[in-house]
Structure 1
Amino acid sequence: MKSKINIKAIIKLLRPKQWIKNSFVLAAIIFSGNFTKTGVFAKNIAVMLMFCIASSCVYILNDIIDVEKDRCHPKKKFRPIASGDVSVTLAVILGISLMVIVIIGTYKINPIALVIIVAYLILNILYSFKLKHIIIIDVMVITLGFVLRIECGSVVTDVSLSPWLILCTILLSLFLALNKRKSEIIELDSKSASHRKILEEYSVDLIDRMLNLVTPSILISYCLYTFSSVQSRSMMLTIPFIIYGIFRYEYLMTKNNAGGKPEDIFFKDKPFLINIVLWGLSILSIIYLTK
């Protein structure tokens, strides 16, 4: 074990690449047309930052619990705790300190938002110790985490999101979680169960059947959202971006088994990134320039 504090390893332990998931907090302010309101925008950014810190607390806890299993994994053995770059003691101190920051910081922003983030932390603590070992429940817990993110954004923005948009979030997070499980099974092959016991309960065929239900449901839900939105005719123009995004993700999953690290797809695959940017610009243009 290394005695010096390795700042680079600590940053890696926090997994900043995965903070992109917390951008779901901004869904409410963007789709409600309040993105240009400076005060509300500042609160949303602050809450998103709190979610980033809270999610890092969860990653630290997971790495502490799974340290021995990670050391047997071909890639996860290089994680800071598993490799010895960060000691368990330092990780515990860091996790507790960050949790205190989250609680105090979120309370000052919005007390109700604090309740949601505490619920997110409790949910993920239960997930780390028990729920991740229960088939289907494990991916549903991940989905609930995304719902809590957008609900937190709704609270600080003081708006209600379309039920269809919430359903899109649920289905999209299920899509990502199932593809992640599928990627782990393919990557680890016969050793998958020894690394993550829940993978013994899944199979590529079972996950494909689940995805056959979830994938078209994402598109249908998004279409229904665009049909029911105020700018329905214009919003329908964004549907092709969703179709391309789903197809591109599935292509990368099939060709490169990329579903294990969805953040890499978002940051490294140029066609996917360009599609997301164009979709985002289209949404902003339709909502804010057609008022």
Structure 2
Amino acid sequence: MSERSTVLLEQAEPPEQRVGRAVSARRRPLRVPLGLIRTARPRQWIKNVLVAAAPAAAGELDSRHTVVQLAVVFALFTAAASAVYLINDARDAEADRAHPVKRTRPVASGDVPAAVACAAGVLLAAAATAAAAVLCNTMTAALLTAYVLMQIAYCVRLKHVLVVDLAIVTTGFLMRAMIGGVALSIPLSRWFLITAGFGALFMVAAKRYSEAVEMAGSDGATRALLTSYTTGYLRFVWQLAAGVAVLGYCLWALESGGTANGSLLPWRQLSMIAFILAVLRYAVFADRGTAGAPEDVVLRDRPLAVIGLAWLAMYAMAVADL
């Protein structure tokens, strides 16, 4: 087509279409950077608040040093987790295109080239682990490095190994809960580790169960390992994990006996009620097969939010001996 013909066609094009095409052209340079940010899953960053779990459990959130250090750890863990998401989406682009929701992800939809997402993930992971070595203690850097290596191994191979995939994802959550205590050299209670570990397994298994229910009949197009699990097995896992998490929390709460230091009420023991109610409420969504996005369940269910706030209030009063 000659240049004159092209000009004539553009002149014949309706003005609103020409404006729309011009706007699209101006936005195109931002498509990849914005796509990378979306691939890093900003909505998932709320999970990294767990880095404050160990200091909170030990009642060590009352100093500026603690808050600053936790902010640094939060940023580093967020960077590391985002790096894993970038690498994961680059590898899973083909499978994601078969999923009704995941197909809109930037890499799966073609907004971000897989090679670019993978390279960005590798660079971000290297930066996060290097910064941890400089800004935190040696054990924090080691734990964050172990998390990144474990998650990359999960993306490459371990996500296809039965049961191991559940253990890896659960361990990732447990590392989140541990790293704040490690960064501040706070001893980690055995009850804390049991409750956090099995609580994480409960949510992970419930997520897998929901995915299996949602994608029934897809022959594993979106997650091949789902065809190797039965819904009955996944239900057994999340029910078992919920029971152990509740037992661990109750044993921790009862360990101190009655009221401490003249507290008005035994807040630590009373917090068991809110904890058990929260587990039971979340189990409603797990049983329905609608717990595929845990962050949506936690953020959008108002009764669960109220129960969580009640638990937080009782736990804070227990720590403060009020």
Q: Which residues in structure 2 correspond to 1:154-173 (within 5 Å)?
A: 154-173=181-200
Secondary structure at the counterpart of residue 195 of structure 1:
coil
Measure, in 1, the Cα distance between the counterparts of 2:39 and 2:51: 22
Which residue among 258, 268, 271 is the counterpart of 1:235? 268
The residue type equivalent to 1:23 in the other structure is V
Name structure 2 gaps, 5 residues minimum: 1-26, 261-265
The residue type equivalent to 1:273 in the other structure is A
Q: Which residues in structure 2 correspond to 1:24-103 (within 5 Å)?
A: 24-103=50-129
Measure, in 2, the Cα distance between the counterparts of 1:275 and 1:161: 25
1:260 aligns with: 292
Name structure 1 gaps, 5 residues minimum: none
How far apart are residue 48 of structure 1 and its match? 1.5
The residue type equivalent to 1:215 in the other structure is A
Name the stretch that deviates more: 189-198 or 59-68: 189-198
Q: Report if aligned partners of 1:40, 1:156 keep a CA contact under 8 Å in 2.
A: no
Q: Report if aligned partners of 1:58, 1:125 keep a CA contact under 8 Å in 2.
A: yes
Q: Report if aligned partners of 2:159, 2:165 keep a CA contact under 8 Å in 1.
A: yes
Secondary structure at the counterpart of residue 259 of structure 1:
coil
2:15 aligns with: none
How far apart are residue 76 of structure 1 and its match? 0.6
1:226 aligns with: 253
2:45 aligns with: 19
2:201 aligns with: 174
How far apart are residue 192 of structure 1 and its match? 4.6
Which residue among 160, 163, 181 is the counterpart of 1:136? 163
Deviations 1:188-237 (A, max 9, x none): 11115222111111011111222332221111110001112486732011
How far apart are residue 83 of structure 1 and its match? 0.7
Give the fraction of aligned pairs with identical amino acids, expressed as a percent.
28
Query: Is the counterpart of residue 194 in structure 1 residue 226 in structure 2?
Result: no
Q: Which residues in structure 2 correspond to 1:236-251 (within 5 Å)?
A: 236-251=269-284
Q: Report if aligned partners of 1:5, 1:86 keep a CA contact under 8 Å in 2.
A: no
TM-score, normalization by structure 1: 0.93
Deviations 1:108-160 (A, max 9, x none): 22232111000000000111111111111111111111222233211212111
Name the stretch that deviates more: 109-118 or 3-12: 3-12
The residue type equivalent to 1:246 in the other structure is V
Measure, in 2, the Cα distance between the counterparts of 1:143 and 1:168: 12
The residue type equivalent to 1:163 in the other structure is R
The residue type equivalent to 1:207 in the other structure is L
Deviations 1:28-58 (A, max 9, x none): 2111121011102211121121111111111
Q: How many residues align?
A: 288
Query: Is the counterpart of residue 5 in structure 1 residue 30 in structure 2?
Result: yes
1:112 aligns with: 139
TM-score, normalization by structure 2: 0.84
The residue type equivalent to 1:254 in the other structure is D
Measure, in 2, the Cα distance between the counterparts of 1:280 and 1:242: 10
Deviations 1:243-288 (A, max 9, x none): 1111111112334x32110010111111112221221222122202
Secondary structure at the counterpart of residue 5 of structure 1:
helix
Measure, in 2, the Cα distance between the counterparts of 1:86 and 1:234: 50
2:21 aligns with: none
Secondary structure at the counterpart of residue 59 of structure 2:
coil
The residue type equivalent to 2:306 in the other structure is I
Q: Report if aligned partners of 2:53, 2:178 keep a CA contact under 8 Å in 1.
A: no
Measure, in 1, the Cα distance between the counterparts of 2:312 and 2:189: 18
Query: Is the counterpart of residue 208 in structure 1 residue 208 in structure 2?
Result: no
From the two aligned structures, give the one with the greater helix fraction: 1
Q: Report if aligned partners of 1:185, 1:192 keep a CA contact under 8 Å in 2.
A: no
Measure, in 2, the Cα distance between the counterparts of 1:262 and 1:139: 15
Q: CA RMSD in A?
A: 1.8
